[in-house]
Amino acid sequence: MINLLLFPIILPFLFAILLLFFKEQVKTQRVLTVIGLLISLCSSFYLIWTIKQEGIQTVTLGSWPAPFGITMVSDMFSAILVTTTLLITFFIVLYSFPTIGKGREQYFYYPAILFMITGVNGAFTTGDIFNMFVFFEVLLIASYLLIVLGGEKKQLRESIKYIIINVVSSALFVITVAMLYSVVGTLNMADIAAKIAQIEQPAIISVIAILLLIVFGIKGSLFPLYFWLPGSYAAPPIPVLSLFGALLTKVGIYAIMRTYTLFFVHDMAFTHGILMALSILTIIAGCIGALAYFDLKQIIIYNIVIAVGVILYGAAQMNESGLSGAVFYLVHDMLIKAALFLLIGMIIYVTGTSNLRKMGGLMKTHPALGWFYLIAAFGLAGIPPLSGFIGKLLIVRGAFEAEHIWGSIIILLSSLIVLLSVIRIFIYAFWGEPQNLPKTKTKPYVQMMIPTLSLVLLSVLYGIGVEWFAPYIADATDVLLQPSIYIDAVLK
């Protein structure tokens, strides 16, 4: 019972190792991957239920008392993100079967995904700041393999930039953690929070806060550190792009939200003021990018950047509305981005291009794809009663409560630009006269449609069934608003 929170990390890891022995046997790999993800998913749902009943779950490895051992902590916030991660990965793996190609499947595609999920879930669950760095490295090493797998020229070119940027940010992460350790003398996150509270955040802690914001801002693509993202994410195939777009930036966002609500809460005018300003600039930069391109991938990739700004703006308010909006919108964005990337993958499959100017008339040939794309597009833009609306409404309300009127106006205006960018795809691809489409097989199309529709429907359910999810979101928000709940659970 006590080690339940380790299951969503250990199970993908064990299945990834198992898959290494079946390099050539694609069917075996597929079956084992699906089984591994389903078992992990069941354990994460059970973990959420356990946290709801019994409160925050912790385990300190090696039976050492906290803060001396490495502690793993699962509160409602991390458990929700772990479950969402496994759910999205499951559908993306199903989508990969007809689309990724035998060549990639025989070169450790599925083990790389499972190793990446191990790192992502580990980063969400760890209660130790150095351990977070270790899990970041696990997910990054797996992502390096995924970004080059297939060896296309574009992939190799973009992967060099991606690897260099991440190596630099990882080095900065280690240096910053060393600085933090030299000031507070501990790596346990709950203990760091307690120690910083005792010394009342001197200037050096504020410097460390900004350095960590740079590190996590590179991972989460915060302005002006997002420059590497559009090129790198557009290079690999659609299933890999979906995984990266839905999950990787969210680990950076999680890390910022966790540290800025747990550690750096004694000089908020400075630390959270900078976070707020950068998140607004991130939204503006994303909006410019989303309108500038006529490439399907780039338009949705720049929408990732906009969402990063919106979520972190909500987190920077440090009030109940802002934080609950940020948590709700974070989960919404993971679901909707995965759905949208799979949808544009289907559009590219049908048309043979990602250039909007070369498309048209798909509504006459593929009406179901058109309608489901439209639902996902409205969800992304935040049209009520879809899930994007509720999160954004709470964030804007939190900003009004904190008297940050201008930021709220920018977020509301950004919704219009998001709507414009995704409706432009709909108009160009689905309206007008049908183009000459390349010959495509029906079977792969149907196989792609099933996981894609499932994700679109999940995102709709997340918006319509908000009353069911509200208690869980409230629990996640409470831990962020009251760090003492987290600290007491870990240090007992």
| Residue 1 pLDDT | 45
| Residue 24 pLDDT | 83
Phi/psi of residue 465, nearest 5 degrees:
-95, 35
Q: Could you write out the DSSP letters of every residue in 427-445?
A: HHHHSSSPP-PPP--HHHH
> Which is more confident, 218 or 361?
218
Confidence (pTM): 0.93
Distance (Å, whole) CA 341 – CA 265: 36
Question: Is 398:323 a contact under the CB 8 Å cutoff?
Answer: yes
b or e along 336-371 (b: 16 or more beta carbons within 10 Å of the residue's beta carbon)? bbbbbbbbbbbbbbbbeebebeebbebbeebeebbe
Flag whether pLDDT at 375 surpasses 50. yes
The SS3 of residue 58 is strand
Flag whether pLDDT at 412 surpasses 50. yes
Q: 60 pairs with which residues across the strands?
A: 71
Distance (Å, whole) CA 394 – CA 476: 15
Q: Name residue 12's amino acid.
A: P
pLDDT digits (tens, 9 = 90+) for 465-486: 888 998 999 999 999 988 888 8
| Residue 201 pLDDT | 65
Flag whether pLDDT at 29 surpasses 60. yes
Distance, first Cα to last Cα, the chain: 18
pLDDT, mean of residues 481-492: 87
Distance (Å, whole) CA 390 – CA 398: 12
**Pair of tokens at residue 472:** 């869980």
| Residue 386 pLDDT | 86
Q: Give the chain's mean pLDDT.
A: 89
**Pair of tokens at residue 173:** 């992460």
Distance (Å, whole) CA 285 – CA 223: 7
Q: How many CB atoms lie within 10 A of CB 485?
A: 16
Lowest-confidence segment of 15-19, 136-140, 486-490 by average pLDDT: 486-490
Question: Is 386:462 a contact under the CB 8 Å cutoff?
Answer: no
pLDDT, mean of residues 256-280: 89
Distance (Å, whole) CA 103 – CA 116: 20
Cα dist. 231→137, 147, 163, 296 in Å?
A: 21, 11, 13, 13
Cis peptide before 65 (omega within 30 of 0): no
Q: How many CB atoms lie within 10 A of CB 277?
A: 14
Percent of all residues in the chain with a pLDDT value above 70, rounded to a whole number: 99
Distance (Å, whole) CA 389 – CA 387: 5
Give the best-scoring range by mean pLDDT among 59-73, 325-339, 478-492.
Answer: 325-339
Distance (Å, whole) CA 320 – CA 381: 23
Sorting pLDDT into bands at 50, 70 and 90, what band is 132? very high
- Indicate the length of the chain as a whole number: 492
> Which is more confident, 96 or 434?
96
pLDDT digits (tens, 9 = 90+) for 161-192: 889 999 999 999 999 999 999 988 888 898 89
The SS3 of residue 186 is coil
pLDDT digits (tens, 9 = 90+) for 279-322: 999 999 999 999 998 888 899 999 999 999 999 999 998 889 99
Q: How many CB atoms lie within 10 A of CB 51?
A: 24
Percent of all residues in the chain with a pLDDT value above 90, rounded to a whole number: 50
Q: Name residue 246's amino acid.
A: A
